[in-house]
Structure 1
Amino acid sequence: MVLPETVLPARPALLNPALDDLGVRLGPDGGTLRVWSGTADSVQLLLFDDVDLDWATETIDMVPVGGGVFQATTPLLRAGARYAIRVGGPQGPGHLFNPESLLIEPYSRGLVSGGGTGDWRSVVIDGSFDWGSSAKPGVPLDRTVIYEAHVKGLTKRHPLIPPALHGTYAGLAHPAMIEHLLSLGVTSVELLPVHAYATEPRLLQLGLTNYWGYNSLNFFTPHAPYATAASRAEGPEAVLREFKGMVKLLHEAGLEVLLDVVYNHTAEGGIGDPRTSFRGIDNTGYYRQTGEGVYIDETGCGNAVDTSTDAAARLVLDSLRYWSDEVQVDGFRFDLAVTLGRDERHSFTPDHPLLTAIREDPALAGTKLIAEPWDVGMGGWQTGNFGSPWLEWNDRYRDRVRNFWLSDVDYARRADTAPVGIGGFATRLAGSSNTFSEDRGPLASVNFVTAHDGFTLRDLVSYDVKHNLGNGEQNRDGADTNRSFNHGAEGRTDDERVLATRRKAMRNLMGTLLLSAGVPMITAGDEMGRTQRGNNNAYCHDSALTWVSWDLAPWQRDLLAHTQRLLQARRDNPALRPKRFARAGETIPSASVMDWFDEHGETMSSDRWNDPAHRTLQYLATSTPEDEEPNRVLLVIHGTEEPTEITLPALTGASFVSLWSSADEAPADDDETFVPGDVVPLAGTSMRLFRVD
């Protein structure tokens, strides 16, 4: 009997063993450096004096070992050693080799400035760290609440954090900051980019800086300026140790650390911008371009990384493995993720080898993967198309929620009626089943109303238009369509009627976000009404404009208390955080069965869903989590400015316990109880949440 030949699955090209162990690997007799360049003629390793980074103490010719990899082994490659590479190769379209340029080695774990702008040296890192009993919290998706924050901006002005720790990794892990995060009720801190980055020359000329950090120099090195002065003085090893210490302390508090990662472009920018690394190593292998060497710009930044090449895709995968394994981070939010999924024809495919490798890599199992599902290229809007286990920023949710509470209300003031009814809003509230497939469920949606990019929550209700003159671009930058509403005065005002209406609008927006099915994301400071004075693109301001203020007025403390109350209600009621979409006539564990009633307590009729004159809804969600008792909540939405009354629906034997109302300036302390048929007054444009017992 002849057995059939065993057919093994093909190994993805980007897992080619020739690309294994790139960068520096330390051994007992020194280190080995491996660098990939598919078209180079020569690669040299230069080692530098620890003090005078202009003085190369040794130059070593690296040897080609196959697969485009050049290699050198030397006892001089030891922990703390400063080094750079020089690469020579052919000239012609697409090639930018210069054998005199000192370049950052792509897999560097540490960097130091060589003194001049764009002048860097790589540093060999040992990386040892005592994690003790610290472990990743592994927060389930249905309990995940993301808090998007800037390392420096979150802690720079905190009065209980020592000044030496302001704006640092260590400051983020200070007990005062951990206490705020835990008392707020968030579970996962998503940090704006912490990969080493540089400020664009244009901003430097304007006296501004790249504050957000979406301009990566290197995908393995933590940004040194976020470390304490003591760590920076000690060097890159200490900077990495401080970062790991932050992760360890946050984990011990039960908090996850997610990183906003920028793999779609680099700080090298377009033609004429700096050549610090990839451009001088293999321009055609790392960047998307035409046959004539013209960059194809899918990102708006001039040089889209070409993940259709094995080496570029492998670089991204190896970076993710490093941060997940050696630095113990819990997940990643991928900036302009569509660019990473474009093939050699520059078209997006959810089955792109890199996206497939990320979701199937055992080293990344259990890691939270969040896609920003768009870029600026052709076919760049891909919300809903990434597939499991990806989560996606849901821009449709953002837009519909803003419309319902802000631009629709503005329209109604001028036209006596809103432009649309409540149906589209209800779909977003219930998990966006028209965007995400049944197999992915509502938890594929990362719901947000604001993010780092755009108006803050307070500015969203205080400005009709952007005010970005301070950015040096004559107010041309930033989004023009904000779906915001100033409620009668642009910006600062002493009109108490306007201010009260704005405060209620903030509570409605925050309430919607935290009571919707899906994974909510809060932008740091929104829980306390932070303002950027109408700037909706404050990426270039490292100042009090962008730092979170902890000096709170009474109304800001009230808003914080509302956010805490809402997150407590979310934790206590599984019906607000279903894992699956319900299916008519079936009992599906951890899916919320939804019943919809109008203001009279009657089942919502089909004609009322889209009738602009009817924007009042009672939403009953019933969930039976595995091994738990059924849970029911009733959420009442009233989307017009005239007050009204609702009649509670006729649920046999039920009682309705009031948990929260957006009409209250401060959260009420009493749990008022009602019965079916009771008439309950509602303020104009307000929400109310009940637990159904």
Structure 2
Amino acid sequence: MVNPAPLTRASREFPLGLHSVKGAWSQDGHANAAVWAPGIASMDVHWCRADGTWTSETLVGLDGGVHHGVVGPVAPGALYAFWPTGEDLPGTPGTAQLLLDPYARAVEPVALASGADEPPSRSYYSVFLEHTFDWGTSEHPRTPWRDSVIYEAHVKGLTKLHPGIPEELRGTYAGLAHPVMTAYLRDLGVTAVELLPIHFSIDEPHLEPLGLSNYWGYNTLGFFSAHSAYATAAAREAGPDAVLDEFKGMVRALHEAGLEVILDVVYNHTAEGEQHRPALCWRGLGDRDYYRHDDAGRYVDTTGCGNSLDFSQPRVVEFALDSLRYWVEECHVDGFRFDLAVTLARDENNTFTPRHPFLVAAGASKALRGTKLITEPWDIGPDGWQTGRFPVGWADWNDGFRDAVRDFWLRDVASIAAGGTGSSPARLAGRLAGSADTFAGSGRSPLASVNMVTAHDGFTLADLTAYERKHNEANGEGNRDGSNDNRSYNHGAEGRTEDEGIPRGP
């Protein structure tokens, strides 16, 4: 009798990231690791064992630029990171900054020792997460576009000061899921909550010395990871698994209230910033492969944030699509608003094309079928304004609607108050009728127009009625940030006033 050959731990280049091995090795805690880094000859994965010590293994497989191998045992919740084989480590694993897994399901900040007069310092590590969740009978509301009313909100800001929500839940995913908040949203008549970025994000380096932080979250370091700072203290203490539980619990509660969940996503750039800054993830794995460069090797920045992900690269397109599918399939979200979406549709010549592979693939994806895909249809690059030119299956923020409404509501009133005249109502009528002049050329109906009046950029509704100009003096940037074209009217007094003779905002 011939003895069977011993089992070997055959690794795979797909799926990317760190995943438990299935089959014969599923019981011994091993994981399949896979990372795309085509310019690196060999890659190691470093991880923290259950006893707190660190170890590493070389990924022995290499196919199509993907390094892969079966490693372990790796315990759920373990911190891990990548580093090129044979290159000197920047320091001790667990404290020094190695290279994050772009597909990590959680990112953990690690505080480092710093002097009394120095700003706090930290590094970031990926977390091995294998997560299950009971969705019960929760289902996607699937609100038709014609019936959709979208309410943009910041997870922290929406409930942080709400007196009806328990103090320990304010400013968190759980606070947004609280019955007081879901009832409030239903009473407003909205059908969807569009959340400002909840992907794991970090502060830009120049903010900490100023004692400031990035409140808005448009500086992503983990496109598959929920931002842990928006979880309750109890969830953060329990760890990344509990943070993801809380996020999914929020989605479930909003669905049970009949409300869709739309995520504002920032695939146009990453938190690695300008070209000279240290590598945290993509820059170290393949700077030329992930980021757009000119012929001289300099970054091409169409975002104003220091870098632009290069969507002429098929693997970058795949990365963004995989992230979208994760949030729909695993976290049950209902749609996405794409920040600076024109950057995601620039070809190898840095030219916008409505037939870009990313736009076509997302619109045709079975996993994303029925998902609302909303563009911010501009960036700061050449020919960056593209409202009305995205393809069928996508909807655009309609800045033309925004401007027409503000002019009719406020600037015309200001003009008349100053002895002038207002504009023709025909302009507003065209916008209320669906902006056919803007959208018909793309083959889309008026339902492709997201008729917005205010958003996180620029003035709030109340600010529109109280200020003639922006006042962003507090952030240390000399009031340079933000648009100067807000089409507002202060009604005779700059700023909030108790003067009964001055009309007040909403």
Q: Deviations over 1:110-165 (max 9, x none)?
A: 12112244511111111111111111111111111101000000011111111111
Partner of 1:113: 109
Partner of 2:69: 72
Distance apart, 1:98 and its partner CA: 7.5
Partner of 2:41: 41
Q: Secondary structure at the match of 1:114?
A: strand
The whole-number CA distance in structure 2 between the counterparts of 1:494 and 1:149 is: 27
The whole-number CA distance in structure 2 between the counterparts of 1:88 and 1:263 is: 29
The whole-number CA distance in structure 1 between the counterparts of 2:435 and 2:231 is: 40
The structure with the larger Rg is: 1
- Contact 1:84–1:121 under 8 Å retained in 2: yes
The code of the aligned residue for 1:281 comes to L
Which of 423, 426, 431 lines up with 1:428 in the alignment? 431
Partner of 1:550: none
Q: Secondary structure at the match of 1:219?
A: strand
Partner of 2:79: 82
The whole-number CA distance in structure 1 between the counterparts of 2:122 and 2:376 is: 29
Partner of 1:320: 324
- Give the RMSD, CA atoms, in angstroms: 1.7
Partner of 2:375: 371
2:404 is aligned with 1:400 = yes
C-alpha spacing 1:239/1:417, structure 2 compared with 1 (3 Å) = same
The whole-number CA distance in structure 1 between the counterparts of 2:174 and 2:496 is: 35
Q: Deviations over 1:51-98 (max 9, x none)?
A: 85xx5x211111242100101212323321211111369xxxxxxx98
The whole-number CA distance in structure 2 between the counterparts of 1:51 and 1:202 is: 37
The whole-number CA distance in structure 2 between the counterparts of 1:256 and 1:51 is: 42
2:58 is aligned with 1:61 = yes
Partner of 1:26: 20
- Contact 2:50–2:75 under 8 Å retained in 1: no
The whole-number CA distance in structure 2 between the counterparts of 1:386 and 1:334 is: 12
Q: Secondary structure at the match of 1:58?
A: strand
C-alpha spacing 1:291/1:38, structure 2 compared with 1 (3 Å) = farther
Partner of 1:138: 142
Partner of 1:448: 452
- Contact 1:193–1:262 under 8 Å retained in 2: yes
- Contact 2:254–2:261 under 8 Å retained in 1: yes
The whole-number CA distance in structure 2 between the counterparts of 1:143 and 1:479 is: 31
Partner of 1:230: 234
Q: Deviations over 1:658-684 (max 9, x none)?
A: xxxxxxxxxxxxxxxxxxxxxxxxxxx
Distance apart, 1:203 and its partner CA: 1.1
- Contact 1:178–1:253 under 8 Å retained in 2: yes
The code of the aligned residue for 1:106 comes to P
The code of the aligned residue for 2:17 comes to G
Q: Secondary structure at the match of 2:220?
A: coil
Q: Secondary structure at the match of 1:220?
A: strand
- Contact 1:32–1:77 under 8 Å retained in 2: no
Structure number with greater CO (CA < 8 Å, separation at least 6) is 1
C-alpha spacing 1:82/1:428, structure 2 compared with 1 (3 Å) = same
Distance apart, 1:410 and its partner CA: 1.6
Q: Secondary structure at the match of 1:384?
A: coil
Partner of 2:183: 179
The whole-number CA distance in structure 2 between the counterparts of 1:273 and 1:169 is: 32
The whole-number CA distance in structure 2 between the counterparts of 1:108 and 1:59 is: 17
2:487 is aligned with 1:483 = yes
The whole-number CA distance in structure 1 between the counterparts of 2:72 and 2:45 is: 13
Partner of 2:5: none
The whole-number CA distance in structure 1 between the counterparts of 2:50 and 2:339 is: 35
Partner of 2:225: 221
- Contact 1:88–1:99 under 8 Å retained in 2: no
Distance apart, 1:19 and its partner CA: 6.5
Q: Deviations over 1:601-637 (max 9, x none)?
A: xxxxxxxxxxxxxxxxxxxxxxxxxxxxxxxxxxxxx
Distance apart, 1:355 and its partner CA: 1.0
The code of the aligned residue for 1:174 comes to H
The whole-number CA distance in structure 2 between the counterparts of 1:268 and 1:490 is: 39
The code of the aligned residue for 1:422 comes to P
Once the two structures are overlaid, the 10-residue window that deviates more, 344-353 or 71-80, is 71-80
2:417 is aligned with 1:413 = yes
- Contact 2:355–2:391 under 8 Å retained in 1: no
The whole-number CA distance in structure 1 between the counterparts of 2:439 and 2:20 is: 46
- Contact 2:337–2:376 under 8 Å retained in 1: yes
The whole-number CA distance in structure 2 between the counterparts of 1:488 and 1:348 is: 43
C-alpha spacing 1:350/1:468, structure 2 compared with 1 (3 Å) = same
- 5+ residue gaps, structure 2, are 1-11, 91-96, 113-120
Q: Secondary structure at the match of 1:32?
A: strand
2:440 is aligned with 1:437 = yes
Partner of 1:306: 310
The whole-number CA distance in structure 2 between the counterparts of 1:343 and 1:380 is: 13
C-alpha spacing 1:185/1:311, structure 2 compared with 1 (3 Å) = same
Once the two structures are overlaid, the 10-residue window that deviates more, 408-417 or 101-110, is 408-417
Which of 277, 284, 288 lines up with 1:284 in the alignment? 288
- Contact 1:45–1:84 under 8 Å retained in 2: yes
Q: Secondary structure at the match of 2:55?
A: strand
Which of 356, 360, 363 lines up with 1:356 in the alignment? 360
Distance apart, 1:49 and its partner CA: 4.6
Distance apart, 1:268 and its partner CA: 0.4
Q: Secondary structure at the match of 1:190?
A: strand
2:270 is aligned with 1:273 = no
Q: Number of aligned pairs?
A: 474
Partner of 1:207: 211
2:126 is aligned with 1:125 = no
Q: Secondary structure at the match of 1:238?
A: helix
The whole-number CA distance in structure 2 between the counterparts of 1:20 and 1:316 is: 15
- Contact 1:84–1:102 under 8 Å retained in 2: yes
Q: Secondary structure at the match of 1:405?
A: helix
Aligned pairs for 1:236-635 (under 5 A) are 236-418=240-422, 420-437=423-440, 439-499=443-503, 502-503=504-505, 529=506
Which of 181, 190, 199 lines up with 1:195 in the alignment? 199
Distance apart, 1:273 and its partner CA: 2.8
Distance apart, 1:286 and its partner CA: 0.5
Percent of aligned positions that are identical = 52
- Contact 1:197–1:218 under 8 Å retained in 2: yes
The whole-number CA distance in structure 2 between the counterparts of 1:263 and 1:458 is: 30
Distance apart, 1:50 and its partner CA: 5.7
The whole-number CA distance in structure 1 between the counterparts of 2:79 and 2:32 is: 14
C-alpha spacing 1:492/1:152, structure 2 compared with 1 (3 Å) = same
The code of the aligned residue for 2:110 comes to G
The code of the aligned residue for 2:372 comes to K
The whole-number CA distance in structure 2 between the counterparts of 1:259 and 1:468 is: 26
Distance apart, 1:468 and its partner CA: 1.0
Distance apart, 1:99 and its partner CA: 5.7
The whole-number CA distance in structure 1 between the counterparts of 2:307 and 2:428 is: 38
- Contact 2:325–2:367 under 8 Å retained in 1: yes
- Contact 1:217–1:267 under 8 Å retained in 2: yes
Q: Secondary structure at the match of 1:434?
A: helix
- The structure 1 segments of at least 4 consecutive aligned residues displaced by more than 6 Å after TM superposition are none
The whole-number CA distance in structure 2 between the counterparts of 1:494 and 1:169 is: 35
The code of the aligned residue for 1:78 comes to A
Distance apart, 1:409 and its partner CA: 2.1
